[in-house]
Structure 1
Amino acid sequence: MSSYIDAFLFPIAEEHLQEYQKVAEAVAAIWMEYGVQAYYEFVGDDLSLPGTKSFVEAAGLKENELVIFGWALFPSKDIREDANKKVPQDPRMSKLVGPLMQPESKVFDAGRMLFGGFKFLTGLTE
């Protein structure tokens, strides 16, 4: 299987969740136009397991922040690399994401985001 995913994790202030969700939904649609097969974002709910490092620790969560975890599934690493070049250049992205990343907005801090690309190892679906 040649599938490839980009995964990300970041904190967001609880007060900005609805604003972020609207942007994330629009951004997901753009990614789909550039070859993503599936795009999901989730809000942390049950984030600890005894004996493991939690997403709360990994994200450096502060008071009144939530953890967002997301992933985008690509048919291949080549399509992923092409999309990762083209999506940031799409003019809709700067209109959607640009305002969130301004220091005065305090909605999204890319410096606190964890990110990685992953190649397929194993998996099951129904």
Structure 2
Amino acid sequence: MAIPAAAKETAMSYIDGFVIAVPNANRERFIEHAKTFDAIFLEFGATRVMECWGDNVPEGKLTDFRRAVQAEKDESVVFSWVEWPDKATRDAGMEKFMKDPRMAAASDCPFDGKRMIFGGFVPVVSLSS
């Protein structure tokens, strides 16, 4: 079976994924914060950044997104990802990102970064219409 062209292209990409809990009262602050820092990711080589505010995040029997980030009643779960063309671009971009002087503004973060979960992922399946 032949691999579709779209799947071959995606196989070379790299994804950083993030899950955080954001106080509902900080929703607009979070959006502004994300716009600022996501633009830096793009500046350093990312091809796309998505920030998704939880709309249907059910409680599970054993695990769930809310428990993963210790979300409290007045907080929403945010699921985010950064797409990079490949891991080498990601590694170089993240190094620049972490050293960038604009990161000093991260001290006024609208969420508790200690409860963030994150990781890097190599896509293995990508389908699109």
Q: Which has the higher Rg, Structure 1 or Structure 2?
A: 2
Q: How far has the Cα of 1:52 moved from its partner?
A: 6.5
Runs of 4+ in 1 over 3 A off after TM superposition: 49-52
Verify: 1:57 aligned to 2:67, yes or no.
yes
Q: How far has the Cα of 1:11 moved from its partner?
A: 0.4
1:125 maps to: 128
Cα deviation digits, residues 82-104 of structure 1 (max 9, x gap) = 11110121122223x1222xxxx
The count of residues paired between Structure 1 and Structure 2 equals 119
CA 111–50 in structure 1, closer or farther in 2 if over 3 Å, else same: closer
Distance 2:57 2:50 in 1: 18
1:70 maps to: 80
2:3 maps to: none
Verify: 1:24 aligned to 2:27, yes or no.
no
Distance 1:50 1:99 in 2: 32
Q: What is the Cα-based RMSD across aligned positions, in Å?
A: 1.6
Look up the SS of the partner of 1:120 in the other structure: coil
Q: How far has the Cα of 1:61 moved from its partner?
A: 1.2
Cα deviation digits, residues 48-67 of structure 1 (max 9, x gap) = 27666321122211120111
Question: Mean alpha-carbon deviation: is it higher for 40-49 or for 11-20?
Answer: 40-49
2:99 maps to: 89
Instruction: Compute the TM-score of the two structures, normalised by the length of structure 1.
Output: 0.87
Aligned-partner residue type, residue 87 of structure 1: F
Cα deviation digits, residues 33-77 of structure 1 (max 9, x gap) = 100000001011111276663211222111201111100000001
2:107 maps to: 98
What residue ranges of structure 2 are gaps of 5+ in the alignment? 1-10
Look up the SS of the partner of 2:78 in the other structure: strand
1:88–1:94 CA contact under 8 A, matched in 2: no
1:3 maps to: 13
Question: Mean alpha-carbon deviation: is it higher for 108-117 or for 49-58?
Answer: 49-58
